[in-house]
Structure 1
Amino acid sequence: MTQIYKNRRTSSITKQWSRNILACAVGALAAGNAFADGRISGQLTAEISGMPLQGSRVKIEELNQTAVTARDGRFVMSGVKPGSYTLSVSYLGVETMTREITVTDNQTTVANFKISPERPEQEYVIVLGQAGSLNKALNRQRSADNVVSAVSADAIGQLPDTNVSEALQRLPGLSIERDQGEGRYVRVRGLGPDYNAVTINGVSLPSPDSGRRAVALDVIPSDLLEGLVVTKTLTPDMDANALGGSIDIQSLSAFDRDGNFYSFTAEGSYNELTDNTSPKLALTASDQFSIGSGTDNLGIAAGVSWYDRQFGSDNVETGGAWDFDDGAALLEEIEQRDYTIERERSGMTFNVDYKLSENTDLYWRNLYSKYTDSEQRLSNIVEFEDAVGAGDVTNAEVARELKDRSETQEILSSSLGGSTRVDSWTFDYRVALSESGEDEPQHLGGAAFASIDDIEGVSFSDTTTPYLNTPASFSDANNFELDEVELAQSSTNDTDTSWQFDVTKDFFIGASSAMVKFGGKYSDRDKDSDVEIWVYEDLDEYGFSDEALSMNSYAASNPDYTLGNFGPGINSAAVADAVSGLDQAEFYSEEDSRIEDFDVSEQVSAAYLMGRIDLGDLRLLAGVRYEDTDFSAQGTRYDGDNFEDNNADNQYDHLLPSLHARYALGDNTQLRASWTNTLVRPTFDQLAPFFVIDDEEAEFGNPELEPLESSNIDVGIEHYMGLAGVVSAFAYYKDIDNFIYQTDLAGTPMYADYDEAITYANGDSAEIYGVELAFSKQFTSLPAPFNGLLLSANATFSDSDATLAYYDEDAGGVVSRDSAMPSQSDTTGNLSIGYDASRFSMRLAANYKSEYLLEVQDVSDAVQDVYVDEQTQLDFSARYYLTEGMQLYFEAANLTDEPYYAYVNEASYNAQYETYGLTYKLGLTITNF
């Protein structure tokens, strides 16, 4: 029962509606009442520091007209009738301030407010401390028309969160997926990373990963940010491409501070698993300048960040290769992996804000990030002669492999825009360019040394972290010879250009304050992937002697592997030198190279109309968004003999209504409810028009896939309890159509002669429902020194149901089974205990997520589903102000040395186990406000 109204291909009614939407909106406003256009503007700042305060509610008491202070602490209220009024300003943790003002027709009344703490040390808590950081976020949450969660820049620095994703995991309803122990992808309300949108300063961010839409947020350093905002219920003026939520990364602005500001950080971190120490440096600065006739009307902010982290991990995995037939649990294969990793993360931001006049603000915002991941992976792949149980002794084929590669991901976002106010109208405009890419120069994609004869007397113990028991021959390099060398290189580019124009009109309907907003957006996205692979095999035919093939010629020292006997390593340079003299063209793999290449183009045209009205204590916001998508792609078809270009195109449009309500039960308590409709387009690897036929087996993408469509209901209550204090509860429900999953079409009429036909298909439906709870409180009423205690906790409980269909030969047709949504944890939560004093603060934080479905290995057999086990990570941080502007800090990440563990069927049976060790950080920050 989805509430998304969708027409395939061409729809003259919908297209005519979209062409007329702006004209109708303008006509309705022109026919409306013509009230006087007096205006009130001002700014809210902290008195001692001068820091602007965002998210404060500003209200004309007699008219019930409200505004919210922006990032620079400023607010504007238009369309106010001439007269005398009481203006109030409400900021959590501070007593409401009021002032009598007089509004004159066609003139602007200026009313600035400063927060004045009762004691000077309160300024630290309100603006800088943990409680102040949380308070900023809660003010934004309280004042929003929809459901949002936020993190401020100083809150990001309160815990050892290296990148954007790790900072987001602290928010209600959010959890992260890690890579090598570092946060990478973000999940919102149980929905996987590909179901969420990411923007920088409101501009859509393309993904540097070749086949995905999900943005790997470990690419972006947290030092360059001013804040993070997660929107969980979208309004019509936002892109509709988010089922879980939309994450906006906000970079620095000079008007986020008062006058000259700089911050310099130097840090060293130590990883106990690899015994490596890694350096980090970051510098951000901003200032305001007076040009022309203006005062402090030009703001320039810039920042650079660099972090070179050396670490590693130890891994043992089965890949889910268990045989559960006849009630037994027999293992077919074990793989040991040892990783040595260096990740260099650098970035810079440069932002210009210019107040051209009292009524026009312009900006140019830029963020660039570069992430280089150099990884060497040694592995031992042990294939048992027969599937065995724990303790059984058998023979095994063993292969020792090496992969050595360096990949660089880059992200660039640049936007130029502004805002102009004319009477009670506001015009917002923006053009933007976003680029991301991934480049892997030619590297050793794999070097495999196979055992000359089966290794006898191999067994394993422990089905959770399988420990190999091996004879001496397992570790003898002379028992292995070079079987294959693969060289590879790849590149991906993703470019999104867009323009956007929005018009807002503030007015009154009777005694009720109202607003109408309409606009349009056009985006043009191009993504391509290019892969080149060379496979060197049968090297004895190219003059390699027995000695040149023996692993003994390439052996390196044993790696520091903690999960069992590993044996010798492999010298990467020696392998590369061995094949360097061969003619590379002879070993080019056209099939592997061309099949992974694709070029996709996607254009989205959007228009929307929305309105808002205040009816006493009730605020209603309603509207509709229309999006039209044109898609085209180029790929390759390979039938085992010939290559052909394979092109595809698709077009679809959506009409997406929404309704948001916020009702004030009192000054500190409010109810929220919303009904929204959203969509997510398929990933690029799902859409890519490749087609590979290998005898009776086929694998292919599906460019005809429908987008996922979701109708969402959210209801909740929030109660605010002064400084950093809130208790809230939300319930949500998502009804999803066209759920996408991988399936096997072998046996169906079109693929009746195939043993396997792997592709992607749309499912009938899926559902997610849950409850999101949050609490935070600084206990200022306790006697000193306990009045600095801060407790923060949140938990999300959710469930999902999805339907997977497949062809069953025995049943003679298509059957289905139930499944959870991928990446959806039933329970996620955070608990943080903090302490704030004027010069010292510390924080202990725990993050938990329950098990979730990682992969459906066999759509017809739920026993083979792979799950990631529950995880709890504990982090600690402590900070001390040596002087007013110099701060020393210590952080410890992953205190419990929590591993990554995935299993198949049930938690006893390993799919993957990986451990990372603890990381300690010591740093110094010098700041000038």
Structure 2
Amino acid sequence: MGDGKIGDPPGFFPPRTNPHHMKKASFPFMILLLSMAYGLDVWAQEGVIRGRMLDAATGEPLMFANILVVGTNPPLGTETDMDGSYELRLPPGTYDLRASYVGYQDQLITEIRLEAGGVEVLDIALKDAGVQLEEVVIAAERFDHTEVALLTLQKKALTVQDGISAREINRYGASNVAESMKRVTGASIVDGRFIFIRGLGDRYSNAQLNGLTLPSTDPYRNSVHLDLIPADFLDNVIAAKTFTPDQPGNFAGGNVNIATQNFPERFTFKASIGLSYNTQSSFRDDFLSYEGGSTDWLGFDDGSRAIPSLLTDPAVLSELTSSIHLRARSDENLADLLNRSIKSLSPQLAPTTSRSFMDHGASISLGNQFLLGSNPLGLLVGFNFNKSYNFYDGGSFQNWELPGPGAEALNQDRDLVLQHANENPEVGGFFNLSYKIAGTHKLSYTALYNHNADKAATELSGPFPLILSGGELESRALLFKERGLFSQQVRGEHLLHPESGIKFEWGASHVRSEQEEPNLRFFANSRTVNSDGSSSCVIDQSEFPLPFYYWRDLQDEQWLAKADLSIPFLQTKSKANKLKFGVQYSDKQRTFRESRFQIQNRSNDAQDYGCDAQAYFGDANRGIVGYDETRNRYLFGLYVTNEFIPKNNYDGSEKISAAYGMVTYDIGRLRFVGGARLERTELLAQSLDTSRAVGRIQQTDLLPSLNLIYPLTDKMNLRLSASRTVARPNMREIAPFESFEFIGDFKLWGNEHLRQTRIRNFDFRWETFPKPGELLALSAYYKGFENPIVIAFIPEAANPQIRFENVNRATVYGLELELRKNLAFLLPQLKKFKLAANFSLIRSDVDMPATEAAATRELNPEKGTSRPLFGQSEFLLNTALNYQNPERGIDALLTLNVFGERLAINSFVDPDVFEQPRPELDFTFSKRLNERFSLKFRAKNLLNSDTQTTMEYRDVQYSILQYRRGRSFGLSFSYEI
């Protein structure tokens, strides 16, 4: 059994569900603002020149630098603001500009052509004057700085970090943050949504939106569902791999900051639409599905899956016990209640088939920057919709077990055929409003909404050991899972003292995340083929659970506020010298509810299951099926009982208070970045069964950090880092109740005695930036864990059970290599080709829990008493070959992504289960047809490698789960202003 679900066939054993419906969010006010943004530009008669002025060496903005229009009388000009940004509004014409700043070489930019209503974006990089004070003259040209700016940011960062720019995300064809992060050095994505950095995921990685922490939408994980955040609205995504005190202290792998777009450079409008054909999922007539609601196509339940109102009445629920069919035989009111309760539930418990379509999607976004009064106002708004289909049949799901100590081979425990289909619709919206006041103050509001759903149907069939009659298992699950994220942020930056550069920054956010699973249905039976070729089907509670319905709902609400004060000092020695102080407080409240109703057949009046699900669960066999006039009592077919368990529902809270101080100080060429963060954790989880113990953590941690940066040259750095961080259990893990896991029907227990994990981090990095947009970097790291949290088996339990436990220690260490290089150094004819590659080699080791280690030494000594961390790949490889020909509007990209073997399920005594490498080869070709229209072709998963998990025993591989995803070929069309 494992602390993840990578190898689980969807819905094989019952997940849980509950009765609330996802709240929808909308942005009606955006339409008015869009009209304003567009209208102000349409009627403008002047043109606009805007951009930023930067230090050419550091990429830092130059505040209050001068921009003058040459040859005007009286002189026209402006100065940059706190972000180094400037704006000039001028009549149509051709202009020369002079940029100047104290201590830097002046720069003259010539032949800037400006049209009425047009916008020209001009970023200016000034060089330090040194001993040379003459003016530099250049001709105006459009400068694509996105990727270069990201590498410049990486070069001058105080931490070891890697990232991906918006332009790269678009080039890769990624639709969300999860797909984007697969391309980042040392990062991998598990289950399509959870990020692992340097082999560390879940509690060891943190995610932020514009510097403000995001909560998880999964009751079993700390990780944020990164597939919930669309890529259309991003500026960049950066993973900080070393800790500084101004970051949250609860990470070891990486702190991922997702930066959304802010001030658009000019009026922008983009609309796109696309279709994609999958060789395995598109246009199938046998696509598994079931009858849902009218808004399933959008990913929202329309209410048809809600718990029937009758089954929310406490008085009714108290009557729906296992004996109701006996008590209701002679009680008209109870008989009527029994009849209405079972018939209020959907009779469909087995999937049907329908015809699937192609994957498809559309997006639209607008933005502009204009003056409100005399100050710039930036506006961005966007919407997106995507829907995908996934299908595989003939998949294999097997299990193997060790028959005894010293066995020569494993025995097969089950051999099932898997068929699975999933529809995944997604809708999202983004809104950003930013306003600058007097060049020294900036206010921003950002709203991000995303909602997606999985409408899935699964069938499993084959030999199963719990069927004592020797028949085969037939298992079905119908699932609808909605996930939603609605984040609102307000942020401010204030230059309190322009002369000294003292800056105050603050931010506050409210995030609501939800996950609900309404009306999950599970139904299993055994099937025996008779000698005459007919089949006999039996539903036997002693062999597997009776058919049931689940409703499950998770609601998280988080409020967060932070403030930072930066105070430059000794600026005559170095402009980098700075003191920084800050505070942060977050309060997350969680409610988790589940309801379960089980179908019973304990009356001789009900039909036996005759291999026809539609007839067995039809109204003729449910509730009242007749009346015995002789004995004056009702005859009942199937009926439903309330299986609500109070202990399996809980409320929780997580309150984190933090304060920090840090200093950046240059000692000659050596940059020292050091300080400490004080974090107070108050974590609480309490079951609705008040007789249960309360899970609680109250702890204060001092987290020191040291980063040393030594520039060997202007283009080359050495970095050293040491720090201490923590990892916290989530509320589910400290809530002392049991729930069903998805494989093998294990009971999973929380543990109110869990402790936080303390982590020691050491990093080394050498990096060089030969030319703009190029990079070569080598990193090494080591991490030591005290009290890491794992899932452990409970050997003394009568039936297989697992729980969360702390073990003594774990270690992770590894190497990373990254290269970004233009290939012109090989041949001048290759100047339009770029190669990007990164490779990570990772090793980890975590102790087994003591009871499991003792049993393993006795029954399977070949296994050892430690294992890798869950989800940690032993290597990661990303390569990308890019061809860009701007003159012809062509951009082509070939990418290869491979992860090494990684732990999927940790078993008790039996060999552990590992997910095997699955190379992914993708190709993207974009062609700009003219100034407005472009076409993009994308081929995904060209190798169509198996998704496979295996056990290994005595050098023999035993397959557990195996299926293929199919190849996809897509075409999208976009219009852009």
TM range (shorter): 0.7 to 0.9
**Structure 2 equivalent of residue 552 of structure 1:** 612
Q: Relative to structure 1, is the Cα distance of residues 262 and 55 closer, same or farther in structure 2, using a 3 angstrom cutoff?
A: farther
CA deviation profile, 1:544-571 (whole Å, cap 9, x unmatched): 324xx2223539xxxxxxxxxxxxxxxx
**Structure 2 equivalent of residue 494 of structure 1:** 556
Higher strand share: 1
Q: Relative to structure 1, is the Cα distance of residues 360 and 809 closer, same or farther in structure 2, using a 3 angstrom cutoff?
A: closer
Q: Relative to structure 1, is the Cα distance of residues 285 and 59 closer, same or farther in structure 2, using a 3 angstrom cutoff?
A: closer
**Structure 1 equivalent of residue 471 of structure 2:** 397
Shift of 1:616: 3.0
**Structure 2 equivalent of residue 627 of structure 1:** 679
Any gaps of 5 or more consecutive residues in structure 2?
1-46, 66-79, 87-99, 108-122, 283-356, 541-545, 625-635, 741-745
Aligned partner of residue 136 in structure 1, secondary structure: helix
CA deviation profile, 1:421-456 (whole Å, cap 9, x unmatched): 121321111221111111122232x122322x4779
Q: Relative to structure 1, is the Cα distance of residues 350 and 48 closer, same or farther in structure 2, using a 3 angstrom cutoff?
A: closer
Aligned partner of residue 702 in structure 1, secondary structure: coil
Shift of 1:718: 0.7
Structure-to-structure mapping, 1:746-761, within 5 angstroms:
746=795, 758-761=802-805
Distance of 2:659 and 2:846 partners within structure 1: 32
Distance of 1:524 and 1:649 partners within structure 2: 15
Distance of 2:646 and 2:637 partners within structure 1: 17
Between stretches 888-897 and 705-714, larger displacement belongs to 705-714
Distance of 2:358 and 2:479 partners within structure 1: 22
**Structure 2 equivalent of residue 896 of structure 1:** 943
**Structure 2 equivalent of residue 105 of structure 1:** none
Q: Relative to structure 1, is the Cα distance of residues 83 and 167 closer, same or farther in structure 2, using a 3 angstrom cutoff?
A: closer
**Structure 2 equivalent of residue 849 of structure 1:** 899
Q: Relative to structure 1, is the Cα distance of residues 289 and 439 closer, same or farther in structure 2, using a 3 angstrom cutoff?
A: same
Distance of 2:205 and 2:892 partners within structure 1: 33
Shift of 1:871: 1.7
**Does the Cα contact within 8 Å between 2:228 and 2:450 map onto a contact in 1?**
yes
**Structure 2 equivalent of residue 603 of structure 1:** 655
Structure-to-structure mapping, 1:820-835, within 5 angstroms:
820-835=868-883
In the alignment, is residue 191 of structure 1 matched against residue 190 of structure 2?
no
Shift of 1:86: 2.5
Q: Relative to structure 1, is the Cα distance of residues 611 and 587 closer, same or farther in structure 2, using a 3 angstrom cutoff?
A: same
**Does the Cα contact within 8 Å between 1:723 and 1:778 map onto a contact in 2?**
no
**Structure 2 equivalent of residue 98 of structure 1:** 127
Aligned partner of residue 321 in structure 1, secondary structure: strand
CA deviation profile, 1:411-430 (whole Å, cap 9, x unmatched): 01111120111213211112
1:354 to 432, 435, 438: 435
CA deviation profile, 1:591-611 (whole Å, cap 9, x unmatched): 6x4343121111111000001
**Does the Cα contact within 8 Å between 1:308 and 1:345 map onto a contact in 2?**
yes
**Does the Cα contact within 8 Å between 1:61 and 1:88 map onto a contact in 2?**
no
Distance of 1:337 and 1:742 partners within structure 2: 27
Shift of 1:543: 3.5
Amino acid paired to 1:740: I
Q: Relative to structure 1, is the Cα distance of residues 809 and 674 closer, same or farther in structure 2, using a 3 angstrom cutoff?
A: closer
In the alignment, is residue 308 of structure 1 matched against residue 387 of structure 2?
yes
**Does the Cα contact within 8 Å between 1:61 and 1:87 map onto a contact in 2?**
no
In the alignment, is residue 910 of structure 1 matched against residue 952 of structure 2?
no
Distance of 1:258 and 1:402 partners within structure 2: 53
In the alignment, is residue 819 of structure 1 matched against residue 850 of structure 2?
no
1:447 to 523, 527, 533: 523
**Does the Cα contact within 8 Å between 2:685 and 2:732 map onto a contact in 1?**
no
2:667 to 592, 615, 618: 615
In the alignment, is residue 786 of structure 1 matched against residue 786 of structure 2?
no
1:152 to 151, 165, 170: 165
Distance of 2:52 and 2:457 partners within structure 1: 47
Distance of 2:885 and 2:857 partners within structure 1: 69
Aligned partner of residue 439 in structure 1, secondary structure: strand
1:218 to 227, 233, 242: 227
Shift of 1:401: 2.0
**Structure 1 equivalent of residue 358 of structure 2:** 277
Q: Relative to structure 1, is the Cα distance of residues 158 and 698 closer, same or farther in structure 2, using a 3 angstrom cutoff?
A: closer
2:494 to 420, 436, 441: 420
Aligned partner of residue 269 in structure 2, secondary structure: strand
Aligned partner of residue 85 in structure 1, secondary structure: coil
Distance of 2:678 and 2:530 partners within structure 1: 64
Amino acid paired to 2:673: L
1:165 to 178, 181, 184: 178
CA deviation profile, 1:314-372 (whole Å, cap 9, x unmatched): 36344533335421232121222211211111110111101122211111111110001
In the alignment, is residue 536 of structure 1 matched against residue 599 of structure 2?
yes
Structure-to-structure mapping, 1:856-867, within 5 angstroms:
856-858=906-908, 861=909, 863-867=910-914
Shift of 1:724: 2.2
Amino acid paired to 2:175: T
In the alignment, is residue 700 of structure 1 matched against residue 700 of structure 2?
no
**Structure 1 equivalent of residue 351 of structure 2:** none
Shift of 1:613: 1.0
Q: Relative to structure 1, is the Cα distance of residues 455 and 384 closer, same or farther in structure 2, using a 3 angstrom cutoff?
A: farther
**Structure 2 equivalent of residue 773 of structure 1:** 817
Aligned partner of residue 240 in structure 1, secondary structure: coil
1:336 to 410, 417, 431: 417
**Does the Cα contact within 8 Å between 1:55 and 1:143 map onto a contact in 2?**
no
**Does the Cα contact within 8 Å between 2:82 and 2:495 map onto a contact in 1?**
no
**Does the Cα contact within 8 Å between 1:262 and 1:927 map onto a contact in 2?**
yes
Amino acid paired to 1:479: S
Distance of 1:53 and 1:384 partners within structure 2: 71
Aligned partner of residue 207 in structure 1, secondary structure: coil
In the alignment, is residue 480 of structure 1 matched against residue 537 of structure 2?
yes
Distance of 2:419 and 2:747 partners within structure 1: 34
**Structure 1 equivalent of residue 784 of structure 2:** 735
CA deviation profile, 1:195-248 (whole Å, cap 9, x unmatched): 211111112111111221111212222223222111111210111111100111
**Structure 2 equivalent of residue 390 of structure 1:** none
Shift of 1:685: 2.9
Amino acid paired to 1:144: A
In the alignment, is residue 205 of structure 1 matched against residue 214 of structure 2?
yes
Shift of 1:711: 0.9
**Does the Cα contact within 8 Å between 2:942 and 2:967 map onto a contact in 1?**
yes
Distance of 1:302 and 1:353 partners within structure 2: 12
RMSD: 3.6
2:840 to 775, 781, 796: 796
Q: Relative to structure 1, is the Cα distance of residues 290 and 269 closer, same or farther in structure 2, using a 3 angstrom cutoff?
A: same
Q: Relative to structure 1, is the Cα distance of residues 50 and 269 closer, same or farther in structure 2, using a 3 angstrom cutoff?
A: farther
Aligned partner of residue 517 in structure 1, secondary structure: strand
**Does the Cα contact within 8 Å between 1:612 and 1:621 map onto a contact in 2?**
yes
CA deviation profile, 1:11-67 (whole Å, cap 9, x unmatched): xxxxxxxxxxxxxxxxxxxxxxxxxxxxxxxxxxxx9996669996448999xx9xx
**Structure 2 equivalent of residue 519 of structure 1:** 582
**Does the Cα contact within 8 Å between 2:696 and 2:734 map onto a contact in 1?**
no
Shift of 1:692: 8.4
Shift of 1:783: 5.8
Amino acid paired to 1:554: Q
Aligned partner of residue 897 in structure 1, secondary structure: coil
**Does the Cα contact within 8 Å between 2:54 and 2:125 map onto a contact in 1?**
no
Q: Relative to structure 1, is the Cα distance of residues 613 and 781 closer, same or farther in structure 2, using a 3 angstrom cutoff?
A: same
Percent of pairs with identical residues: 23
Aligned partner of residue 905 in structure 1, secondary structure: strand
Aligned partner of residue 490 in structure 1, secondary structure: strand
Amino acid paired to 2:150: A
**Does the Cα contact within 8 Å between 1:534 and 1:584 map onto a contact in 2?**
no
1:299 to 364, 375, 378: 378
In the alignment, is residue 408 of structure 1 matched against residue 468 of structure 2?
no
**Structure 1 equivalent of residue 728 of structure 2:** 681
CA deviation profile, 1:386-418 (whole Å, cap 9, x unmatched): 99xxxxxxx942122221121110001111120
Distance of 1:792 and 1:661 partners within structure 2: 27
Distance of 1:534 and 1:614 partners within structure 2: 66
Q: Relative to structure 1, is the Cα distance of residues 86 and 55 closer, same or farther in structure 2, using a 3 angstrom cutoff?
A: closer
Q: Relative to structure 1, is the Cα distance of residues 536 and 83 closer, same or farther in structure 2, using a 3 angstrom cutoff?
A: closer
Aligned partner of residue 172 in structure 2, secondary structure: coil
Distance of 1:794 and 1:71 partners within structure 2: 36
- Structure-2-length-normalised TM-score: 0.73
Q: Relative to structure 1, is the Cα distance of residues 479 and 364 closer, same or farther in structure 2, using a 3 angstrom cutoff?
A: same
Shift of 1:194: 3.2
**Structure 2 equivalent of residue 260 of structure 1:** 267
- Structure-1-length-normalised TM-score: 0.77
